[in-house]
Structure 1
Amino acid sequence: MIKLVVLASLLVSAYAAKSYSGYQVLRITPQSEDDLTVLSMVEKSISDMVDFWKHPRSVGIPVDIMVSSEYREVITRFIQTRGLKVEVMIDDVEKLSEQQKLRESPSTANFDFASYHELSEINDWMTSFAASHSILVSLENLATSYEGRTIRALKVGAPTGSTKPVIWLEGGIHSREWVSPAAMMYMTNMLVEGYGNDADITSMLDDFDFYMIINYNPDGYEYTWTNDRMWRKTRSNNIGRLCDGVDPNRNWDFQWGNAGTNPCADDYQGPNAHSEREVKEVTDFILGLNDVRVFIDFHAYSQMWLTPWGYTYRLPSDYTEQYTVARDAVNALSAVYGTDYVYGSIANTIYPASGSSVDWAYGVAGIKHSYAVELRDTGRYGFLLPANQIIPTAIETFEAVKVIVKAVTY
């Protein structure tokens, strides 16, 4: 009997959601190359004690790290003794995480776009939304996740009786970035509600089919609600290793193999390119489409509009056009609420990242206008953006999307 009680206790512990009570997010801004060296050393030597939300990349660019109460004092002291200032960005990660789950109007008859939703609620909305707007919207199955969930898209476009070029917008590839799928849902709603009422939207849906992939990584997203709010990867089992999951944005089969090799790290690239069925099946689907003009992968956070390449500092042959369109898109976005974005190639703007979706879309699928977008904010809330910023994020981002679609209309 005692053994059964102990076993039951162990099982409860194993499946209990991870608590981030007492965790803080600290910001350190390097003022010199020496400072940058210190922070890079911290990242390499104590990565098992902290979670880098923003990695060291250049002088003057903030570094954000999440640290538990267990290690906070020693790490803060270590950093401060090297002359670096430590600023507390988030005082209690758990408290902010719980606030994200609160609903303004949980009993409303209409879907509440101003709240974050569990995976089942998102799936139910996608089904009902497609059914209630069947002239413009259809539900498409793209792939099956490691745990057997269906990765779906809402295909939005006016019926013309002929094949149209495609605009591909995807969200939620990193599961802890909740604002990405939330903003994707509202932008989808804006597309449909705008048809016949907004000249730009009407023209877009007449000329293109939009594939809106609301949640690319359903296994990981579900896990952020049930087990670990800060989970980023897939949920595949790394046989023979201590840690599960692969970073699905380091697993695409283009210049794969120069990203994270530690299975326990958030940026683990996987045992081989396309090891994740989510990535392999979605890429196969994209290659089967006709004339994909735009590919945008929405992430959070940092407020950046990024272009290829990620794997190298070298710029692609189409960079001038990509840069110009990204600049115009950011200007349109910023004109809405004054939100500041930076733009440029992935490697030169943040850090080198091989095996990414954007590099694959441009380098393999030949989609010239391929972008990775880091949505709000710049670090005040980070991955824990309050729900009241979902709709403003979607509205301003949609203005940028319209600029890019106009740029490829020919």
Structure 2
Amino acid sequence: MGPQRKLIVALVPLLVALLGKCQSPDMLRSLPKNVSGYLVSRDGQFYVQPALENQSSNGERGVENESRANDEESWTEGGEESWRSDKEPVDGDDEDDDESWSSRRGSLWWWERGTRSRGFSIFGMLESAVGMVGKFLGGMIFEDEEDIESKDSAANYRGHQLLRLTAKTKKQVRYLQQLMTDEPDDVKFWTNPVKDKATDVLVSSRLLNDVKEFFREKGINYVMLMSDLEKAIKSQNPRMPKERRQDLFSSQGHAMTWKRYHRFKDVMGYLDYLASKYPQIVEVVSIGKSFEGRPLKIVKVSTGANVNGEPKPTIWIDAGMHAREWISVAVTTYILNQLVEKNENYTRLLDITDWVIMPVANPDGYEYTHTDDRLWRKTRSNHDAEPQDDTRQAPGFLHVVSQYTKWLFGGSCEGVDPNRNFHIHWGDDKIGASTDPCADTYQGPSPFSEPETRAISNYIMKNKKFIKSYLTMHSYSQMILCCGLTRTRPADFDDLMNIANKAKKAIAKVNGIEYRVGSAAELLYPTTGSSDDWAKEIAGIKNSFTIELRDRGNYGFLLPASQIIPTARETWAGVRVIARMSAAQGNNT
């Protein structure tokens, strides 16, 4: 046994013992005099659940609220919970005496916010350390990360409900924005609140009754889309037994099936398989490393120069920039499969275009969604204590120790939204991006602070002369978008919409699925620091689109694996239209 393993084996019982001691009731003596409580475990950390003297506990209040909610709410024929306000809200700004979410929570609110803050937690540190050391030790013993599906301490969404809201007034939008700010751990907005547009909100079981009552009081309509998110997560992706993976490697040389969502290792293995079996048209290149040291790989697909000996127009596609959007990775690898392994079906397309495809633009976050938190969106960087370094090694035991040392001397929030980190009006007026490191849309401490976004921008800038289309795959909402920054349309907006509308028609012909086309600022909301705006305005790539894949919210980020192939087929039809029209533009210039 090597020295690292001996150290780990020695530390495990020590950490377990410390964890047991720290959970002792003696630790509660440091509570304020007017507060009593008990320890609760949530999302891999321990917190004190307080209860002020002479006030019932949250659990008792929850039972009462649940009983009242069951009396007040009805069910539709489709099995969905729904509620509608009897009074139509009035859009006005003069109701200053209206009760806000924070004031409505009452005197307990300030303490709960403090105990749920993302700062130092000795309980969470020790419990999570045990889990991470155990995973690291398991990884050394089993070597294959696919054998370890997820951590025992992974985020659990049991009882969390996905609600769809419709804010009818600007005042209601402000209520939702305040709720989003005040309760980021318990109320997660999958889509931003916009007047007269659907807003999808995930509410924890802990605050479910309070939040629903708040919506009723404010006249905000809602419909329940999912009654238990944890059940949806567990049913989304069928497991693949180790024996099945081995059979696939033996029969086809890789583990990809497009009947399930695959881990990062499987995706990278498929890229290497393509490069090995089809070296005449495929080249795999690493353009950098992620924050945690994983390779940032792109695949070049080309049959060589055109008939005149000149370089062909290149189509760039990236996916997985937002870690939880698994369908984007699956669709992009399907496109690679068609271009390479079915290349005889697309000889004309390959005669006029080259392709550069990046299936996983955020590998750290993507892997984290498989092991720790299915709904993680950002990268996994930490800018409070980590230097920016493009030569990182894959995470190991010293990385674990480093993380918990940082937690001990000052907590921080990990990750940056890579699609708010590009150097295009970065930070302007905070439109669609956040300066809060704990927010899902955190823009980062500076443009291109992430090694992932720097690697993409460096490659594109070096090859922008040949790239005629930039496509970035996201989910969800079924849209083809351009121009995310403002409502001001670019001079060639009509050209972009012509391409997008023809792609939309091609998509609809496959399965009858309808996409919407337009600017992101009009169909969704304005954003800054997004990759498609950067590609068009800074890199000068004329045809720059964001493709938001299935669906429109029934499953959201948890699109079942059974929909991978239908989604991929229709998307591939639309992408081919964009590629052909881009090539035609290149021939006319």
Question: Scaled by the length of structure 2, what TM-score is found?
Answer: 0.66
Contact in 2 for aligned 1:299/1:373 (Cα 8 Å): yes
Summarize the alignment of residues 395-406 of structure 1 with structure 2, pairs less than 5 Å apart. Answer: 395-406=569-580
Does 1:7 pair with 2:23? no
Query: In the alignment, which of 25, 29, 35 is matched to residue 162 of structure 2?
Result: 25
Cα drift, residue 183 of structure 1: 0.8
**Corresponding position of 2:398:** none
For residues 5-404 of structure 1, what are the structure 2 equivalents within 5 Å? 5-7=16-18, 11-13=126-128, 15=131, 16-59=153-196, 61-103=197-239, 106-107=244-245, 108-109=247-248, 110=252, 111-160=256-305, 163-197=311-345, 201-239=346-384, 242-257=412-427, 258=430, 259-289=433-463, 290-308=465-483, 310-404=484-578
Runs (4+) of structure 1 moved beyond 6 Å? none
Query: What are structure 2's unaligned runs of at least 5 residues?
Result: 1-10, 21-124, 132-152, 386-410
Q: How far apart, CA to CA, are the structure 1 residues paired with 2:17 and 2:493? A: 60
Moved more, 13-22 or 88-97: 13-22
The CA distance in 2 between the partners of 1:378 and 1:122, in whole Å, is 26
Deviations 1:279-337 (A, max 9, x none): 112101111114110000000111111011x2212111111111111111111111211
Q: Distance in 1 between matches of 2:190 and 2:434?
A: 15
Q: Deviations over 1:125-153 (max 9, x none)?
A: 11112211222211111221111111101
Cα distance in 2 for partners of 1:43, 1:352 equals: 18
Contact 1:135 1:159 in 2 (8 A): no
Q: Deviations over 1:196-232 (max 9, x none)?
A: 23xxx21221222101110000000111111111110
1:407 maps to 2:581? yes
**Cα distance in 1, alignment partners of residues 173 and 16 from structure 2:** 50
Q: Are residues 248 and 316 of structure 1, via their aligned partners in 2, closer, same or farther at CA, if it must alter by over 3 Å? A: same
Larger radius of gyration: 2
Q: CA deviation at 1:179?
A: 0.5
TM-superposed deviation, 1:162: 5.1
**CA deviation after TM superposition for structure 1 residue 378, in Å:** 0.5
Separation in 2, partners of 1:188, 1:94:
32
Aligned residues: 405
User: How many Å apart are 1:104 and its aligned residue?
Assistant: 7.0
Do the aligned residues in 2 keep the contact of 1:136 with 1:157 (CA within 8 Å)?
A: yes
Name the CA distance, whole Å, in 2 between partners of 1:127 and 1:104. 21
**Maintained 8 Å contact 2:315/2:467:** yes
Greater shift, 317-326 or 128-137, is seen at 128-137
Letter in structure 1 aligned against 2:157: Y
Q: TM-score, normalised by structure 1?
A: 0.93
Partners of 2:506 and 2:551 lie apart in 1 by 17
Amino acid at match of 2:566: P
CA distance in 2, matches of 1:247, 1:286: 19
What root-mean-square deviation, in Å, do the aligned CA atoms of Structure 1 and Structure 2 show? Answer: 2.0
Distance 1:294 1:4 in 2: 52
Q: Is the 8 A contact 1:170 1:212 kept in 2?
A: yes
- In 2, the alpha carbon distance for the partners of 1:276 and 1:4 equals 32
SS of the aligned residue for 1:69 comes to coil
Contact 1:194–1:202 (CA under 8 A) maintained in structure 2: no
Return the offset for 1:103: 3.8
Higher RCO structure (Cα 8 Å, ≥6 apart): 1
Partner Cα separation in structure 2 for residue 232 and residue 102 of structure 1: 22
Report the secondary structure of 2:480's partner residue. Answer: strand
Contact 1:252 1:274 in 2 (8 A): yes
Contact 1:300-1:383 within 8 A present in 2 as well:
yes
Report the Cα distance in structure 2 between the residues aligned to 1:347 and 1:250, rounded to whole angstroms: 14
